[in-house]
Amino acid sequence: MGRLKESDPLFELVLKWILSSEWDMTLTLREALQRCEALIASHIHNPEGSELSRKCPGIGKFFMELPLTRALDYLGQKVAVEQRRYVPPTFSEVRQIFNIAQVYALKSRAKLMTFDADDTLYEHGMDLEPGSWLVDALLTLMETGIYVAVVTAAGYPGKPDRYAARFRGLLERMQEKKTPSSVTRMFFCVGGECNYLFRINDEYTMEQVDSDAFYTDAMKSWKQEDIAKLLDVAEAALKDSCARMRLDVQFLRKARAVGCYPTRAEDRIAYEALEDVALAVQDKLMHYSQGKDVIPFCAFNGNRDVWVDVGDKRYGIEALLHFLNIAGEATCHMGDRFTLTGNDKSSRAVANTVWVTNPSETEEYLELFLRDAGDEKCVRCADSRPKGPKQGTVEWHKAQIIQNNTSA
CB 263 within 8 A of CB 250: yes
**Which residues are the active-site residues?**
116, 118
